[in-house]
Structure 1
Amino acid sequence: MLPLPFRRRPRTPGHAGMWAVLALLLSLASQSAQAIPAYARQTGSACADCHAGAYGPALTPYGMRFKLNGYTDTDGQGTKIPVAAQLTETHSNPKTGPSDTSLTEGDLYLAGRVSDNVGGYIKVEADHTGHNTYNTRLSNVDLRYVAKELKIAGKDTTIGVSVNNSPGFQDPIAALPNASFLAPGGTTATLLNPAAPNSPTNRVIGATVYALYDKVWYAEAGSYRSLAPGTQDELGYNRNGDPGKLSNTGYFRFAYMKDMRTQFFSAGVVALTTKRQLPRAATRDDIDDFGYDLTYQYLGNREHIVQASYVNIYERRDYGQPLPNPAVPGTFESDNGSARDQVTSLAYTFRQTYGLQLSRLKSTGSQSAARYPPFGNPDSTINLITVFWAPFGKDDSWITKGNLKLGATWFRVSRFNGRSSNVFGAPPGAASTDASDLNAFSLSASIAF
């Protein structure tokens, strides 16, 4: 996954490397997809009907059906303008380094139905990049055509096509990293992880065909290709993050989804396979992702909601060109490698207003002195603790078609670069950085309208 030009230089314990890691960790919590008021206005439903917490991102079975139906469901009360917006103010307080308070993100959503069979989701995102400067980019895209109310062998069937730019974002269960926005961060990760180095997230375009049979069996298959570097640049993405040239790419998803009214359970498998050239003139690496996921929701009467999920994705890599082994001059490292991402999450929501979420994000990979200096070990473990308050977006609240969310998140890093101490390999006598020095705390306020 990390060929020759992406070889990482040995990191120093200086501030630059540490701030880069902190920025990555903070972004994992700030990029969560939220309830889109345009959908609430279109359907006549409150935000809490689709989301376990009234502001999102976790979907209820009702929200999953809305997504499967191509974002086209409506209350039939005339045409609604499919536009919404979100603003997020964040105070970041890292354990080591200066605190910062800024308007971190402004989002514009073009989201809703075009016709009975066509609908979509487009997010344009402006991210704070420095003093009074912002970078505008095209974020997640999911455009759909859907045929509903079909019958196959007497069973209800829905068949659709999704054109999207992030493998896994279109998934209705919203457990995969691109949909849940819970992604392990570190020096390696799987292609299905948006925090992976040179991730394909938002930098590819593809189409998948999906079907829901008998309301419980879900299947999806499709393909992707990476956008040209110039196109990525025009869409607001730095060329250094180019995922490379992808070919023979296939995406596959199969899941069992059971809505039991007061409870929901799903079990699924996912695969992504491709041949990648990074940079684009390099030899091809064969990359195959295989994963499984389990989710459970206790919804009850919506006063107490409990959600649990586990995702495990394994990536197999066959490198087109092995790297020289720095530990044994004159030899080469293995041309095979692997990576694994695991995400465990448990959330409790009271009256869809007050919430607590605990998440453990773990990334591991095969040893490689050339690819993962200074220790040859890319393993990382991050724990997130999040509490939030979302007062609106419910049928009995003052505002049902918009919302406010106040949240606090603790980032606890217990392992980075395979170590808990001196994670950047400072020489004897120099100041070192421990994994816990990467801890951070953030407060955020978001409003959607």
Structure 2
Amino acid sequence: MLPISHRRHILRAALATLLLLLGSTAAHAIPAYARQTGASCADCHAGSYGPALTPYGMRFKLNGYTDTDGKGHKIPLSMQLIESHSAPARGDSSTQLSEGDLYLAGRLTDQVGGYVKIEADHTGHNTYNPRLSNVDLRFVAKDLKVHGKDALLGVSVNNSPGFNDPIGALPSFSNLGPSGVTGTLLNPSSPNSLANRVIGASVYGLYDSNWYGELGTYRALPTSQQDRLGYNVAGDPGRLSDTGYFRLAYMKDMKRQFFSAGVVGLTTKRQLPRSGPSDDLTDLGYDLTYQYLGNREHIVQVAYVNILERRDYGSAPVIGGVQARDHGNVHDQTASVTYTFKQSYGLSVSHMKSTGSNDVARYGPSGSPDTTSNVLTVFWTPFGRDDSYTSIANLKLAANWFRFTRFNGRGDDIFFAPPGARPTNAGDLNAFFVTASLAF
């Protein structure tokens, strides 16, 4: 059985993940990009605020964030403020300015551009923790020809595998990934995830406007550097070596519709803790997306992501008199459907599931890390379109309901409370959030 202190740590991690997923609506529809291109936020994002990309937005990202209207140099700077009201099923409700962000985003030259987010999260008692969030810096060579077909070739330096993907369906970009006591490396909701705590570079290319490929590598930042960048070292992903990342996708833009199918993989040797034995971890997944864009009055977006991680552990310790398994797997799945009316009003439903190999020593008496959750979001974006009152600011109002039906392999008493103690049920992790996000 997991020690009580460890179970409490898992609960705190789960609640922190919940707040990060719903208390933050990481804006990718950045007004600095709109000013640079002369296009509206709705050209790149179906809901005018993000994060889901339209084919136009995917091309802008592939081109290294360098497209411009040619009307002089624009300052590549934006800001975002998020006010939120949270009402957890178990705990006190609160209303606060939950996040403030600074974006350095846009074009430097014809071939160099980027996206850098500096985030300040509310940590209580009127204090905020600044940290370096997503980074994606690019060099791109455009207008190439290969066998008579259009092509481009680029390099991306980034700190989160999958965030730089053009389709925007992978967990690091979509902010959708099942949270639980474990999870895949490519899922930023997993404990000790790679997101924002690694640095890497990849070479990517697009051929004939349809075929996308990427190959790269990553290493974990030293714990001292993670601390300086605003991250608690308890979430350290560990020491990584022999790390490789690949992505291959077919994308088809049919103007009124869009379809993509892709595969993604990540393999590494990880020491967690850093002085401990090395585990061999391999993620392999696939994703499918479909968009009905029509004339932009009714937009439907569907996405499914399926990632399996195989784990060959470097040791099999005896915990609570039970020996841990020397190998296992974790399986993350996310399905989402979003409907947007007139690029302003929207409804999004997501179903997330994380499962894993049975292991009593690693996961406690249930032996199962299985977690199932759902997110329902209703939103309104009054700005961001060509006919909006303003194009230099954007606003999104959203109501979010996060619901757990299973956590740590159970629906009731998920952390095995001792006799006389109040049990924690999966439903106790549920929460309702109302957020107002302003970008300018």
State the TM-score, normalizing by the size of structure 1.
Answer: 0.95
Tell whether 2:336 aligns with 1:342.
no
Q: Distance in 1 between matches of 2:318 and 2:10?
A: 25
Q: Does 1:139 align with 2:133?
A: yes
Q: Does 1:107 align with 2:101?
A: yes
Q: Is the 8 A contact 1:29 1:181 kept in 2?
A: no
User: SS where residue 60 of structure 2 aligns?
Assistant: helix
Partner residue in 2 for 1:4: none
Q: Is the Cα contact below 8 Å between 2:181 and 2:190 reproduced in 1?
A: yes
Q: How does 1:164-183 map onto structure 2 within 5 Å? A: 164-183=158-177
SS at match of 1:233: helix
Equivalent in 10, 21, 29 of residue 28 of structure 1: 21
Identity, % of aligned positions: 65
Deviation at 1:396, TM superposition (A): 0.6
Residue-by-residue CA offset, 1:134-184 (whole Å, 9 max, x unaligned): 100000000000000100000000110000000000000000000100011
SS of corresponding position for 2:101: strand
Q: State yes or no: 1:417 paired with 2:408.
A: yes
Structure 2 residue matching 1:23: 3-state secondary structure:
helix
Alignment partner of 2:275: what SS?
coil
Q: What residue number does 2:263 align with? A: 269
Once the two structures are superposed, the pairs formed by residues 56-95 of structure 1 within 5 Å of their partners are 56-95=50-89
Q: Deviations over 1:89-138 (max 9, x none)?
A: 00000112110111110000000011000000000000001110110000
Which string of whole-angstrom CA distances, capped at 9 and with x for unpartnered residues, describes residues 276-326 of structure 1?
111111111000000000000000000000000000000000000112153
Per the alignment, residue 151 of structure 1 pairs with 145
Look up the match of 1:443: 434
Counterpart code for 1:23: A
Q: Quick one: structure 1 residues 368 and 13, their matched pair in 2 at CA, closer, same or farther if it must change by over 3 Å?
A: closer
CA distance in structure 2 between the partners assigned to 1:437 and 1:256 by the alignment: 41
Alignment correspondent of 1:292: 286
Query: Which range moved further: 424-433 or 284-293?
Result: 424-433
Equivalent AA in structure 2 for residue 228 of structure 1: P
Of 178, 181, 188, which residue of structure 2 is paired with 1:187? 181
| Separation of aligned partners in 2, 1:201 and 1:13 | 23
- Cα contact 1:10–1:373 (8 A) shared by 2: no
Opposite residue 18 of structure 2, the aligned amino acid is L
* C-alpha contact 2:115 2:134 (8 A) present in aligned 1: yes
Unaligned runs of 5+ in 1: 1-6
Partner deviation per Cα, 1:375-413 (whole Å, 9 max, x = no partner): 221110110000000000100110123211100001111
Cα deviation code 1:9-40 (max 9, x no counterpart): 346887x8655433321311233332110000
Instruction: State how many pairs are aligned.
Output: 439
- Contact kept? 1:32, 1:180, Cα under 8 Å: no
Q: 2:373 aligns with which of 349, 370, 382?
A: 382
Answering whether residue 234 of structure 2 is matched by residue 240 of structure 1, we say yes
Contact 1:274 1:287 in 2 (8 A): yes
2:262–2:286 CA contact under 8 A, matched in 1: yes
Tell me if structure 2 keeps the 8 A contact 1:326–1:369.
no
Contact 1:11 1:424 in 2 (8 A): no
Residue 423 of structure 2 corresponds to 432
Cα distance in 2 for partners of 1:222, 1:8 equals 37
Q: Which residue of 1 aligns with 2:121?
A: 127
User: Alpha-carbon deviation of 1:427?
Assistant: 3.1
- Aligned to 2:363, the other structure's residue is in SS state coil
SS of alignment partner, residue 437 of structure 1: helix
CA distance in 1, matches of 2:2, 2:105: 39
Distance of 1:58 and 1:399 partners within structure 2:
21
Q: Partners in 2 of 1:280 and 1:58 — Cα distance?
A: 36
CA contact (8 A) 1:13 1:426 kept: no
- Aligned counterpart for 1:364 among listed residues 339, 355, 364: 355
CA contact (8 A) 1:38 1:84 kept: yes
Question: Given the alignment of the two structures, is residue 308 of structure 1 paired with residue 302 of structure 2, yes or no?
Answer: yes
CA distance in 2, matches of 1:12, 1:192: 24
Report deviation, 1:333. 2.6
CA distance in 2 between partners of 1:36 and 1:305 (Å): 21
* Partner residue, 1:351: 342
In structure 2, runs of 5+ residues without a counterpart are: none
2-side partners of 1:12 and 1:421: how far apart? Answer: 18
| Residue in 1 that maps onto 2:190 | 196
Match of 2:364 among 368, 373, 391: 373
Cα displacement string for residues 169-219 of structure 1 (whole angstroms, at most 9, x for unaligned residues): 000000000010001100000000111111111011000000000000000
1:374, CA displacement in angstroms?
4.2
Structure-1 residue corresponding to 2:206: 212
Aligned partners of 2:124 and 2:319: how far apart in 1? Answer: 39
Root mean square deviation, CA, Å? 1.5
Tell me if the contact between 1:12 and 1:424 (Cα under 8 Å) persists in the aligned partners: no
1:356-389: CA deviation from partner (whole Å, max 9, x where unpaired): 0000111111111221124221110110000000
Does the CA-based 8 Å contact 1:141-1:164 persist in structure 2?
Answer: yes
TM-score scaled by length of structure 2: 0.97
Provide the C-alpha distance between the structure 1 equivalents of 2:301 and 2:195, rounded to a whole number of angstroms. 26
Whether the aligned pair in 1 keeps the contact of 2:129 and 2:230 (CA below 8 Å) is: yes
Counterpart-to-counterpart distance in 1, 2:197 and 2:10 = 24
Matched, 1:223 2:214: no
